[in-house]
């Protein structure tokens, strides 16, 4: 009862609501701009939330996380380009609906089911976070914690990498970055090159903003071309009728269950859940032939599933310390700086945080839903904002935000260096997710491995290394080997990351064919689409990687 | 990145597969990991032979060996097999490398000038941040192709003022 009151009490502060409004505006904007991911926005915001109280900071970052999940549907539906990878599957039916003059309806349905998905996932988080954390605290000692870190990094590699070797290289590189600074057991200096700034290790936030913010920005500067695509502006009817709501019920239930399950798998995010949810809903639908042609069930399924991952991601992040997705990896970095270390002991020491986090998520969801329903027309206009404003604004916020974390110019230099490194890695298709995870979790892995090796000679092997640790290590190996074998069995030109191979080639061909047929029909809104935009779903998704 | 990377200046296309790029990248990774491994084995220890299962060298050495093996495998694959398709990426646009180089140059100049903090002019102490930040934004907008004078002036001034208020006054960051 006290935890409940403490948690709610922390939210009963006007400043928290104000910070949530800031997060709401930021999240909606970044979601609505294709190319700016929620990860980038949270990394950027991490810079100026460092000086806030933890609950205030969480209010900003979690609200960005939630609001981006609403904003990213807008360009998916109106310009056939996902605002973030989580809304890839939204394009399948959302864009055809917009072409049919039903964009308003698509946006409303999307907002409603997204809210349902997130609220259901918050309930899951509230129910599971403490039991999972307690279980982990009671049964996870050094060997299990080491195995958990290895599993977390391995699954991130398995899911995000097109080439497993490049993914492993990224993970090892991240772990190497984590060795810079003092070795905690003996205080020996490692790789500091005599620089005082490196004694405490590399600055998390500088590396994260560099890899996710600056690198993304530089890539856009490198590849930008003038686009003639304009959002569909005839939005049509907004509110769904009773039949349409009833129609989406089954899709919401099936895909919601998919999203809740996928969310609990570390590193698997909304993009994967959206695709699986859409596919499952199609398989149980009475009208599967309408999927890909502007089906209300289709858009309800994709958006419920991708939104329902949020609570699961939060659960694994907060209860186990293993980031549920790349946004959560960034958030772990921020929380460590606030003095809160996500992991098994967090909720047993601070159970009030479960209440605060759930409260923030619920209020943020309701605010984002309200904003989605009343301000969609304004958001449509935002899609036309000139890129120079956006790029220059992002750059200066990255610089100042990074500086704000340490009041040191050298941190800004670190960020720029990692931005350039990140661009190189991006062009080589080496994922950034495992690097950040390695950097954050590396010291934890080393510490627990050292403890395990210290105990091991003194006791029988199986009394030190439990079946849990062995299972986690086996799962870690499998999460790299299985995707690698799957990829190796495909023709070279069809190989991709796990997220790329969720739907079969036949399903993509069906969607493409449905979109082609729709384009040829008379009376469709066509002013926005050059012909090569007709096969966007897969390509647009790939363009943005697997970050959320 | 090489000029081979550039395949189009018109509509968005994918860059061509490049074996040279893969080989260079794998070679750099191999050199990095080899250097790291050597450095890891030479980390100065304050107390050697304490009987601890792991020293400050152990974990970096393990990572160095693992990284080197992976990098060598990548190098072998890059040399012996055709380069992978890069259809997930967009090709470099005309002017893209110039935009990046100029952005990095401008950012470095901004950071260097900002580091000066303030100057004394005509007996007055002038804080450089607002001036340098506004000029930085102006230069970036110009570089990115914005030519409207209202935007070129109003946006840098407005955004600089916002940053100054948010970070300098509200969050008390010494800008």
Phi, psi of A181 (to 5 degrees): 115, -160
Clarify whether residues B50 and B119 are in a common domain: no
Clarify whether residues B45 and B113 are in a common domain: no
**Residues of A with Cβ-Cβ distance to B145 under 8 angstroms:** 388
Q: Which residues contact A401 (CB under 8 A, 6 or more apart)?
A: A44, A45, A46, A47, A48, A205, A209
Q: Is residue B20 assigned to a domain?
A: yes
Clarify whether residues B75 and B114 are in a common domain: no
From B29, B43, B85, residue closest to A493, measured CB to CB? B85
* pLDDT tens-digit map of A126-144: 898 888 888 888 888 889 9
Clarify whether residues B75 and B101 are in a common domain: no
B96/chain A closest Cα distance in angstroms = 4
Question: Cα separation of A216 and A422, whole Å?
Answer: 8
Q: How distant, in Å, are the alpha carbons of A457, A498, B44, B53, B55 from that of B49? A: 17, 46, 13, 10, 9
**pLDDT (0 to 100) of residue B6:** 38
**pLDDT (0 to 100) of residue A527:** 43
The mean per-residue pLDDT over the stretch B16-20 comes to: 87
Q: Do A185 and B111 touch (CB under 8 A)?
A: no
Q: Do B12 and A225 touch (CB under 8 A)?
A: yes
Clarify whether residues B104 and B148 are in a common domain: yes
At B90, the pLDDT band (50, 70, 90 cuts) reads confident
Q: Do A185 and B54 touch (CB under 8 A)?
A: yes
A44/chain B closest Cα distance in angstroms = 14
Q: Is residue A61 assigned to a domain?
A: yes
B64/chain A closest Cα distance in angstroms = 8
Q: Is residue A534 assigned to a domain?
A: yes
**pLDDT (0 to 100) of residue A95:** 86
Question: Cα separation of B55 and B51, whole Å?
Answer: 9
A146/chain B closest Cα distance in angstroms = 13
Q: Is residue B89 assigned to a domain?
A: no
**pLDDT (0 to 100) of residue A536:** 42
From B82, B87, B100, residue closest to A218, measured CB to CB? B100
**pLDDT (0 to 100) of residue A48:** 76
Range of the domain at A42: 2-228+248-543
* Residue at a domain's end among B55, B80, B105: B80
SS3 B127: strand
**pLDDT (0 to 100) of residue A233:** 65
Q: How crowded is residue A528: how many other Cβ atoms within 10 Å of its Cβ? A: 18
> ipTM of this predicted complex?
0.89
Q: Is residue A310 assigned to a domain?
A: yes
Q: Which residues contact A131 (CB under 8 A, 6 or more apart)?
A: none
Q: Which residues contact A187 (CB under 8 A, 6 or more apart)?
A: B46
Clarify whether residues B118 and B162 are in a common domain: yes
Phi, psi of B127 (to 5 degrees): -75, 130
**Residues of B with Cβ-Cβ distance to A403 under 8 angstroms:** 173, 175
Q: What's the structural domain count of chain A?
A: 1
At B70, the pLDDT band (50, 70, 90 cuts) reads very high
Q: Is residue A236 assigned to a domain?
A: no
**pLDDT (0 to 100) of residue B105:** 96
- Residues of chain A falling short of pLDDT 70: 1, 35, 227-234, 375-384, 491-503, 518-548
Chain B: residue nearest A541 by CA? Answer: B88
Question: Cα separation of A395 and A487, whole Å?
Answer: 37
Q: What's the structural domain count of chain B?
A: 2
From A222, A391, A457, residue closest to B92, measured CB to CB? A222
**pLDDT (0 to 100) of residue A543:** 42
Question: Cα separation of A499 and A508, whole Å?
Answer: 13
Chain A: residue nearest B36 by CA? Answer: A176
Planar angle of CA A205, A210, A211, nearest 5 degrees = 100
**Residues of A with Cβ-Cβ distance to B12 under 8 angstroms:** 223, 225
**Residues of B with Cβ-Cβ distance to A223 under 8 angstroms:** 12, 89-93, 96
Q: Is residue B125 assigned to a domain?
A: yes
Range of the domain at B71: 3-80
Q: Is residue A233 assigned to a domain?
A: no
Q: Is residue B86 assigned to a domain?
A: no
B167 and A CB contact within 8 Å: yes
CB contacts < 8 Å between A and B, how many? Answer: 189
Adjacent-strand bridge partners of B127: B118
A313/chain B closest Cα distance in angstroms = 26
B152 and A CB contact within 8 Å: no
**Residues of A with Cβ-Cβ distance to B171 under 8 angstroms:** 48, 51, 404
Q: How distant, in Å, are the alpha carbons of A169, A232, B41 from that of B35? A: 15, 54, 10
A424/chain B closest Cα distance in angstroms = 8
Clarify whether residues B63 and B123 are in a common domain: no
Q: Which pTM value belongs to this model?
A: 0.81
Clarify whether residues B110 and B74 are in a common domain: no
Q: What share of chain A is helix, strand, coil (3-state, %, to 5)?
A: 75, 0, 25
* Residue at a domain's end among B25, B48, B80: B80
Q: Is residue A242 assigned to a domain?
A: no
Q: Is residue B85 assigned to a domain?
A: no
**Residues of B with Cβ-Cβ distance to A178 under 8 angstroms:** none
Pick B100 or A499 by higher pLDDT. Answer: B100
Question: Cα separation of A442 and A336, whole Å?
Answer: 14
* pLDDT tens-digit map of B137-167: 999 999 998 888 888 999 999 999 988 887 8
| pLDDT, averaged across chain A | 83
Among A354-358, B38-42, B153-157, B171-175, the minimum mean pLDDT is found in: B171-175
**pLDDT (0 to 100) of residue A378:** 66
Task: For chain A, give the percent of residues with pLDDT over 70.
Answer: 88
Instruction: Decide: A185 and B54 in contact? Cβ < 8 Å.
Output: yes
The mean per-residue pLDDT over the stretch B104-114 comes to: 94
**Residues of B with Cβ-Cβ distance to A444 under 8 angstroms:** none
**Residues of B with Cβ-Cβ distance to A529 under 8 angstroms:** none
* pLDDT tens-digit map of A482-532: 888 887 777 666 666 666 666 677 777 777 777 777 666 666 655 444 334
């Amino acid at each position: 009862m006290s935890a409940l009151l403490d948690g709610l009490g922390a939210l009963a502060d006007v400043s928290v609501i104000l910070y949530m409004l800031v997060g709401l505006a930021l999240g909606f904007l970044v979601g609505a701009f294709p190319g700016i991911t929620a990860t980038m926005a949270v990394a950027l915001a991490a810079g100026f939330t460092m000086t806030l109280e933890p609950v205030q900071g969480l209010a900003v970052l979690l609200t960005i996380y939630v609001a981006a999940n609403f904003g990213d549907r807008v360009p998916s539906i109106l310009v056939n380009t996902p605002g973030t990878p989580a809304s890839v599957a939204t394009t399948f039916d959302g864009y055809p609906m917009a072409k049919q003059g039903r964009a308003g309806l698509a946006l409303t349905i999307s907002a409603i089911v997204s809210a349902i998905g997130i609220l259901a996932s918050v309930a899951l988080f509230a129910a599971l976070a403490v039991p999972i954390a307690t279980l982990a605290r009671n049964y996870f000692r050094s060997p299990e914690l080491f195995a958990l870190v290895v599993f977390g990094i391995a699954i991130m590699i398995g899911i995000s990498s097109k080439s497993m070797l490049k993914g492993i290289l990224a993970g090892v590189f991240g772990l190497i970055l984590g060795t810079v600074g003092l070795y905690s057991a003996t205080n020996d200096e490692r790789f500091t090159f005599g620089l005082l700034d490196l004694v405490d290790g590399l600055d998390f936030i500088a590396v994260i903003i560099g890899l996710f913010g600056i690198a993304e920005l530089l890539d856009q500067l490198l590849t930008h071309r003038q686009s003639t695509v304009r959002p569909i502006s005839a939005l049509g009817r907004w509110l769904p009728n009773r039949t349409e709501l009833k129609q989406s019920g089954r899709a919401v239930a099936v895909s919601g269950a998919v999203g809740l399950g996928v969310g609990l798998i570390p590193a698997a995010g909304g993009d994967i859940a959206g695709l699986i949810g859409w596919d499952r809903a199609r398989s149980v639908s009475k009208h599967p032939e309408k999927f890909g042609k502007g089906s209300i069930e289709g858009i309800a399924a994709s958006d419920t599933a991708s939104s329902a991952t949020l609570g699961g991601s939060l659960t694994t992040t907060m209860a186990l310390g293993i980031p549920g997705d790349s946004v959560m990896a960034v958030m772990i970095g921020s929380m460590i700086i606030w003095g809160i270390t996500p992991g098994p002991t967090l909720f047993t020491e601070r159970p009030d945080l479960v209440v605060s986090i759930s409260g923030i998520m619920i209020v943020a969801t309701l605010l984002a839903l309200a904003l989605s329903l009343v301000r969609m027309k304004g958001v449509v206009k935002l899609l036309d904002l000139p890129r120079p404003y956006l790029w220059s604004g992002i750059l200066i916020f990255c610089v100042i935000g990074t500086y704000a974390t340490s009041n040191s110019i050298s941190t800004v230099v670190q960020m720029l260096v990692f931005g350039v490194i990140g661009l190189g890695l991006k062009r080589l298709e080496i994922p950034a997710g495992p690097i950040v995870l390695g950097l954050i979790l590396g010291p934890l892995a080393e510490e627990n491995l050292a403890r395990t090796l210290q105990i091991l000679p003194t006791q029988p092997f199986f009394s030190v290394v439990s079946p849990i640790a062995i299972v986690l290590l086996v799962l870690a190996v499998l999460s790299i080997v299985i995707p690698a074998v799957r990829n190796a069995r495909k023709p070279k030109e069809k190989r991709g990351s796990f997220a790329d191979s969720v739907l079969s080639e036949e399903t993509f061909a069906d969607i493409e064919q449905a979109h082609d047929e729709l384009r040829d029909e008379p009376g469709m809104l066509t002013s926005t689409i050059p012909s090569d935009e007709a096969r966007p779903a897969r390509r647009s998704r790939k363009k943005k990687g697997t970050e959320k | 990145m090489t000029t081979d990377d550039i395949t189009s200046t018109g509509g968005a296309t994918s860059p061509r597969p490049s074996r040279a790029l893969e080989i260079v990248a794998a070679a750099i990774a191999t050199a990095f990991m080899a250097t790291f491994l050597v450095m890891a084995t030479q980390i100065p220890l304050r107390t050697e032979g304490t009987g601890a299962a792991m020293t400050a060298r152990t974990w970096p050495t393990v990572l160095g060996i693992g990284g080197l093996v992976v990098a060598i495998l990548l190098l072998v694959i890059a040399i012996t097999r055709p380069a992978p398709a890069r259809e997930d990426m967009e090709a470099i646009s005309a002017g893209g490398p110039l935009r990046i180089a100029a952005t990095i140059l401008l950012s470095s100049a901004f950071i260097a000038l900002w580091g000066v903090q303030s100057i004394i002019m005509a007996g007055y102490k002038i804080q450089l941040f607002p001036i340098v930040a506004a000029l930085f934004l102006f230069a970036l907008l110009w570089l990115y192709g914005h030519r409207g004078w209202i935007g070129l002036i109003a946006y840098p001034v407005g955004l600089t003022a916002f940053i100054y208020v948010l970070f300098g006054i509200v969050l008390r960051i010494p800008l």
